[in-house]
Amino acid sequence: MARNAPTIDAYGEGGFRLAGARHEGSVLILNDEPRAWPVREFARLTLADLEPILDAGATDVEFVLLGTGPRNALPPRDVRDGLRAAGIGLEFMDTPAAARLYNLLTSEGRRLAAALIAV
CB-based contact 68:49 (threshold 8 Å)? no
In tens, the pLDDT along 7-24 reads: 999 999 999 999 999 999
Q: Nearest 5°: phi and psi at 104?
A: -65, -50
In tens, the pLDDT along 101-111 reads: 999 999 999 99
pTM: 0.94
Domains of the chain, earliest start first: 8-116 (3.40.1230.10)
At 3 the pLDDT is 65
Q: From its phi and psi, is residue 5 left (phi > 0), alpha (psi between -120 and 50) or beta?
A: beta
Measure CA of the first residue to CA of the last residue in the chain; give whole Å: 30
Task: Report residues of the chain scoring pLDDT below 50.
Answer: 1-2
Q: What is the 3-state secondary structure (H, E, C) of 49-71?
A: HHHHHHHHCCCCCCEEEEECCCC
CA dihedral 22, 26, 29, 34 (to 10 degrees): -30
